Amino acid sequence: MAREKTKRITSIGGQALIEGIMMRGPKRTEISVRMPDGTISSETLETDGLGKKYKIFWLPIFRLIRGIYNFFGSNIVGVKALMRSADLSPEEGETEAPSKFDQWMERVFGDKLMNAIMAVGTVLGLLLAIVLFFFLPTWLFNVCEQYLFGTGIEAWRSIIEGAMRIGIFVAYIAIVAHMSEIKRVFEYHGAEHKTIFCYENEEELTVENVRHHSRFHPRCGTSFMIIMLLLGVIIGFFIPFTNPILRTLVKLLCIPVVVGIGYELIRICGRYDNLATRIISAPGLWMQRLTVKEPDDSMIEVAIEAMKAVIPEDGTDLQCPLQAKQPKEKTA
């Protein structure tokens, strides 16, 4: 799949929310949400990146650490933005009184209730991901090896486990994509990508200009996940354990390395357009057919609102690919 050509490259990125979009620039992070009455509510999130605090982490030697920090930092910011969008966009006509359990939770946790919910949700999500993407493929491979195919397939363990892992991921996305709420999130995802492309092509941010741009962007979280899954296949070749628990533990220990490498690959693919980056980007761009849908004009309006708020006046978000050195002109 060919990527859309752009006149410039921005470091601004975003995330689809519940009836809204978060845009994150070098100096500001903005949430814009479509309210039940049709208006757009926007507010700024306080965030600090590692590179903003410590410029030394932009040196090549620290790139792996930078990727790990930014990945987990972005996830924390993303969860906060998602929870905030849920607060800002209640369902129309939602007047149900809090249950006794809700009242008890409020008394116990007070102002920290949302943080407690986020913590519990994060832990449960991580446990589910570990079981589905780490433990289950290894266990299934062992069952197939023992009862169906024998030890002759051992050399293909990492590839088969990786195929199972990708299959589970694709199946999960395909199933949740049919849920009406998730479908709208995926449509907002498309509005986010289109708006960034419009800005990168130096066009005025209007609904008409944004609408005709591609919804598939190389710097997408979906592409990042696919790259991580593929890197996991490579890492699997170097893990000697066949026990599901031991193999899962070692893979978990390797996550920081995979995240760091994946983060840098996504940055490179977003910055350069050549044969190598197109090959690396291709699986992720294909997967975006499931996670990025065509938005309507009202969603594009929300994306534009968030985008305008984070564009720095000094142009510090703009990045240019490194150009080949030109030969110096001889002077007379």
CB burial string 89-124: b at 16+ within 10 A, e below:
beeeeeeeeeeeeeeeeeeeeeeeeeeeebeeeeee
92-113 residue pLDDT tens: 555 455 666 666 656 666 666 6
Predicted confidence (pLDDT) at residue 325 exceeds the cutoff of 50? no
Which pLDDT band, with edges at 50, 70 and 90, does 115 fall under? low
Concatenated DSSP letters for 13-26? Answer: EEEEETTEEEEE-S
Helices in the chain by DSSP H: which ranges? 50-53, 63-88, 100-109, 113-130, 136-144, 157-176, 180-200, 207-211, 221-236, 244-271, 275-291, 297-310
Predicted confidence (pLDDT) at residue 310 exceeds the cutoff of 90? yes
Concatenated DSSP letters for 149-213? Answer: I-GGGGGGHHHHHHHHHHHHHHHHHHHHTTSHHHHHHHHHHHHHHHHHHHHHTT----HHHHHTS
Output the pLDDT for position 329.
45
The stretch 59-80 carries a mean pLDDT of 72
What is the pTM for the complete model shown?
Answer: 0.82
262-303 residue pLDDT tens: 988 998 888 888 899 999 999 999 999 999 999 999 999 999
Give the number of residues written for the chain: 332
